[in-house]
Amino acid sequence: MPFKKLEFIFPWRSYQEKFINNINKHIDDNHLHVVAPPGSGKTILGIEIIRQVGKKTLVLAPTLTVRNQWENRLQTFFIKDGLYNDFSFDINNPKGVTFSTYQSLHSFFKKFEDKADYYAFFESENIEAIVLDEAHHLKNEWWKCLIELKRINNLTIVALTATPPYDSDALEVSKYFSLCGEIDEEIAVPELVKEGDLCPHQDFVYFSKPEDKEINFIFEYRMRISDFLDELKQNTAFITFLNNHRFLKSTETCLNEIYSNPEYFSAILIFLNAIYQEIPKEKLYILGFEKKDKVEFPVFTNDWAEVLFQNLIVSDRLNLIENEPFLNDLETKLRRLNIFENKKVDLVGNYQLYRSLSNSPSKLKSIVAIISNEYKNLKSDLRAVVLTDYIKKEFKTTEDKEVSLIDRLGVVPIFQHLRTNSIPKKEIAVLTGTLVIIHKSTIQTFEQFEPIEKYSFISFETDSEYVEIVPKVGANHLVNTITKLFELGEIKILIGTKSLLGEGWDAPSINTLVLASFVGSYVSSNQMRGRAIRTQKGNLHKTGNIWHLVCLDPTDSKGGRDIEVLTRRFDAFVGVSISEENYIESGIGRLNLPNIYKDVTIEYLNEKTLSQSKKRENLKNKWKHAIGKGTGISREIKQYYPGKEPYNIEKNQVFNDVVRYSFLELSVALSFFLPQFLVKNLNVLLTNGVMAFIYSLLTALGLSFGWKTYKSIKNYIQFGLLHKDLNKISKALLDTMYDLNLVSTNKDEIFLSTDIQPKGEVVCAIKGASEMESALFINSLQEIIEPIKNPRYLIVKTNWFRKNFEIQNYYSVPEMFGDKKKRCEVFLKNWKNQVGDSEVFYTRHLEGRKRLLKARMFHLSNSFNETTKKAVIWN
């Protein structure tokens, strides 16, 4: 065993010990995939995994700094006396454990003309395990030299990350999990806060309004598209072109194409319906509808226009070659409107508007307001970092009187704004890879750490109180020195780039972080956020405020793309609620932000947020109380309310209607209608008997009140039983997982809960299962209840109420059951036991395709909306 000299020389944290005890159980399948936030000791846990696995190992890290940390942690935490020598930094000369980088492995891989020699090298050197540190970096092409190596050499793979790349495209996510395996263990943020490895922290969102020119740009952009679509609806040439499309002219011969791309066919029909053209019933039959079905067409929105144009201009272009002049003209119009670029149609304006709002100069004022507030609150204790994407050196020469005119977000614009406001200048500095600026008063302390002759100090162009530090040859410790000055408090506000300070940079004193970055994903966001939530040795009172900037879109009642992107990123952040109720969960919901921003006063929101950010002592208590409510993390899924009106309004309407028409109005009928009916129909009773009289009475009641009662009961069944349905579906799913041996945890230890929240969301949570079992359950439940995509099997409820009230509910059979018919039949058996009478349809033949299309049409109104949300909760 190559690592018998290694042994951890300190006590393990409780969450670490719990993880370590499960290593052997997880490594059985040659995979161990661990998700743990920054500050949890991933490197130390990685070394312990290597020690227990006991195989010759290659450790891969994203940077040289992180690579060197591995060797440092090994020598510091696992060796009592002397040094451990059975390690190497050279992949060409591996030892018991070799520390390298992804870049080095990729370069090593490219050296081999015959890749068989590459695989043979690992076999001959007896390397049997690979550790992938910060595994989210594997989205890059580095994975190519690993995936085949893993397969051919049957290597043990250990993957460590703070954030899996969930928001990448499906192919990258698939590659990531094919190499790393499913997540085996996740160390929760609350456990780290409880143990003192992370400090109590809170996220805050600061809002801004676009500048006038940005508002004008947005309104003009929206109006140009709206006018274009209105003109298109009057354009006889376009209407004729669509009516002559092969999908309409030769529908029967195009069935395979239509079934493989039903959205395209649907978009054509929805457009023609929008111009009041009658759609032939037989075209709807193609989509699986029947004569008795009432078809409600969706509105022809920008989303549907995008689907239509993307197919006409790109995907289906070759099949429409005879219309090339017409399509070329249409493409030109789309390009002039800036809604077609790089073979992508974008009528929603996601890219154009997001670029405008995310980089809005209004955020410069937000940063000044945040830093001013934090400085007033913390004074000399402030350690603030502002991270952004670009340096923007062109603004170095901006004079004080012109600073307010800067219209770009970047390091220099932020520096210019902060130094010209009420914050003391000596507290501010800039640290990037190519630009370092400090106040002159800081030079004296700087000399204590660095030989001053190794640097040139150049007076900053527009403010002589600052100097720009330019290293001479051989000076490469500048980042470390500026970091020390920041830690000491000589610098209290540091402005830098995400690329330099966002990952791997360590400054435990940070207590305020402003994320002025709009490039990147949850991965980079979580890594940046991790800078501020670490504990600081000797500072037991440290808390962290993380600030996120949003510029609202005045043309979008939901706030626009900026808040949409932030909402998605918050799925990766687990934190404490901002309201008086103390709870811990992932997602932006815990910040209690508005759902609709149409009539919201931004000034009020920001003032309230600034006030909350000052209550740092209260923040510590919130974490303590919220952690005390639970013992571990569980997973839940939230199904959003599907009604057109707000839940409370529609719930009251439906309930009142059922009561009114089923009971109240029936009482009125008996009180007033019955005596009158009795008088008028007394002769029927006398001449034809009691039964004839009762039939007449029931007929009259049905004609008077029957339709209203029918509508009310139908609405109640459709919308009023959502949480009960989800509860039954979740039980059917769990029963099937047990029947198919996909769950090993004792059934008595697993608890399912389903609740309906005030806004109508239905939440289903699973507790007591392992991390892998919970993830499998929640992912499968999401497959079942989200809008129909392209499942192999479809399940349809067939009970009496739904048949007679013309309500049809379609659900996807999860992929893990749909791969084989026998597994699907097990699911159907449990579904019938828990949910009720239903049928399963195979969708890969003609009739099944029709049924699938009908199911997808049933969900058309939700095609572009988020209908479910997964979350991690502490309880």
Summarize pLDDT for 458-479 with one digit per residue, the tens.
999 999 999 999 988 765 688 8
Q: Is the pLDDT of residue 542 over 90?
A: yes
- Tell me what pLDDT residue 669 has: 47
Report whether 359 contacts 327 (CB < 8 A).
no
- Rounded mean pLDDT, 684-699: 59
Q: What pTM value is reported for the model?
A: 0.79
Residue 481 scores a pLDDT above 60: yes
Burial of residue 741 (number of CB atoms within 10 Å: 0-12, 13-18, 19+): exposed
| 554-580: average pLDDT | 86
- Of the candidates 786, 761, 780, 778, the one whose C-alpha atom is nearest the C-alpha of residue 856 is 786
Whether the per-residue pLDDT at 425 is higher than 60: the answer is yes
- Res. 529 pLDDT band, cuts 50 70 90: confident
Q: Which of 1-10, 275-284, 543-552, 586-595 tops mean pLDDT?
A: 543-552
pLDDT at res. 167: 59
Looking at residue 59, its pLDDT comes to 96
Quick: pLDDT tens for 131-145: 999 887 765 667 778
Which range, of 363-367, 779-783, 800-804, averages the lowest pLDDT? 800-804
Question: CA 497, 499, 505, 508 torsion: positive or negative?
Answer: positive
Higher pLDDT, residue 771 or 533? 533
Q: Exposed e or buried b for every residue in 66-102, given b needs 16+ CB within 10 A?
A: bbebbbebbeebbeeeeeeeebbbebeebbbbbbbbb
> What are the helix (H) ranges across 347-497?
350-358, 362-378, 411-419, 443-446, 478-488
How far is 529 from 589, CA to CA, in rounded Å? 18
Nearest-angstrom CA–CA distance, 493 and 438 = 11
Mean pLDDT over each residue of the chain, to the nearest integer: 84
Cα(698)–Cα(658) distance, integer angstroms: 19
Average pLDDT of the residues in 521-540: 79
Neighbours of 28 (CB within 10 A): 8
**pLDDT surpassing 90 at residue 272:** yes
* Mean pLDDT value across residues 675-697: 59
Percentage of the chain beyond pLDDT 70 is 83
Among 3-17, 151-165, 637-651, 744-758, the range scoring the smallest mean pLDDT is 637-651
Q: What is the pLDDT of residue 348?
A: 73
Q: Starting from the edge strand earliest in sequence, which strands make up the sheet with 810-812, in order?
A: 810-812, 793-797, 838-842
Q: Report the first-to-last Cα separation within the chain, whole angstroms.
A: 41
> Which carries the bigger pLDDT value, residue 580 or residue 165?
580
Highest mean pLDDT among 90-94, 453-457, 701-705: 90-94
CA distance 612 to 547: 12
| Distance in angstroms (rounded) separating the CA atoms of residues 35 and 133 | 11
The residue type found at 195 is E
pLDDT score of 172 more than 80: no
Select the highest-mean-pLDDT range: 206-215, 239-248, 261-270, 592-601: 239-248
> Is residue 662 pLDDT above 70, yes or no?
no
Q: Using 50, 70 and 90 to split pLDDT, how confident is the model at 326? A: very high
Between 191 and 788, residue with greater pLDDT: 191
CA separation for the pair 487, 509 (Å, rounded): 6
The larger pLDDT score, comparing residue 796 to residue 269, is at: 269
pLDDT band at 706 (very low <50, low <70, confident <90, very high): low
Model confidence band, residue 786 (pLDDT cutoffs 50, 70, 90): confident
The beta strand positions in 400-472, using DSSP E, are 428-431, 436-439, 455-459, 466-471
> Would the pLDDT of 862 be above 50?
no
Which residues are registered as beta bridge partners of 636?
Answer: 765, 871
Tokens of 183: 């997540």
For 321, the token pair is 């070659």
Question: Taking 70 as the threshold, does the pLDDT of residue 851 lie above it?
Answer: yes
Q: What is the pLDDT of residue 308?
A: 96
Nearest to 626 by CA among 591, 588, 580: 580
β strands within 128-192, DSSP E: 129-132, 156-161, 185-186
Give the number of residues written for the chain: 875
**pLDDT tens-digit series, residues 38-56:** 778 889 999 999 999 999 9
For residue 648, what pLDDT band results from cuts at 50, 70 and 90?
low
For residue 645, the model assigns a pLDDT of 54
Which residue from 860, 863, 855, 850 is spatially nearest to 258, judged by alpha carbons? 850
CA 271 from centre of chain: 31
Domains of the chain: 14-187 (3.40.50.300), 213-356 (no CATH), 390-493 (no CATH), 647-718 (no CATH), 722-874 (no CATH)
User: Residue 559: left if φ>0, alpha if ψ -120 to 50, beta else—which one?
Assistant: left
Characterize the bridge pairing of strands 97-101 and 87-88: parallel
- What mean pLDDT comes out for the span 758-781? 81
Q: Amino acid identity, residue 119?
A: Y
Q: Mean pLDDT over residues 343-361, rounded?
A: 78
Q: Say what the pLDDT of residue 657 is.
A: 45
CA angle (550, 551, 556) in 5-degree steps: 110
Q: Phi, psi (5° rounding) for residue 145? A: -85, 5
**More confidently predicted of 382 and 672:** 382
pLDDT band at 658 (very low <50, low <70, confident <90, very high): very low
Q: What is the pLDDT of residue 215?
A: 84
Single-letter amino acid, residue 135? A
Residue 295 has pLDDT above 70, yes or no: yes
Residue 631 binned pLDDT confidence (cut-offs 50, 70, 90): confident
Q: How far apart are CA 168 and CA 153, in angstroms?
A: 28
H helix count then E strand count, the chain: 39, 27
The neighbour count for residue 248, using CB atoms within 10 Å, is: 17
Report yes or no: 380 and 489 within 8 Å, Cβ to Cβ: yes
DSSP string computed for 631-642: SSEEEEEEE---
- As a whole number of angstroms, the distance between CA 35 and CA 135 comes to 10
Mean pLDDT of 327-351: 87
Q: What is the pLDDT of residues 227-263, one digit of tens each?
A: 999 999 999 999 999 999 999 999 989 988 888 888 8
Do residues 190 and 627 make contact, with C-beta atoms less than 8 angstroms apart?
yes
Residues 747-772, mean pLDDT to the nearest whole number: 82
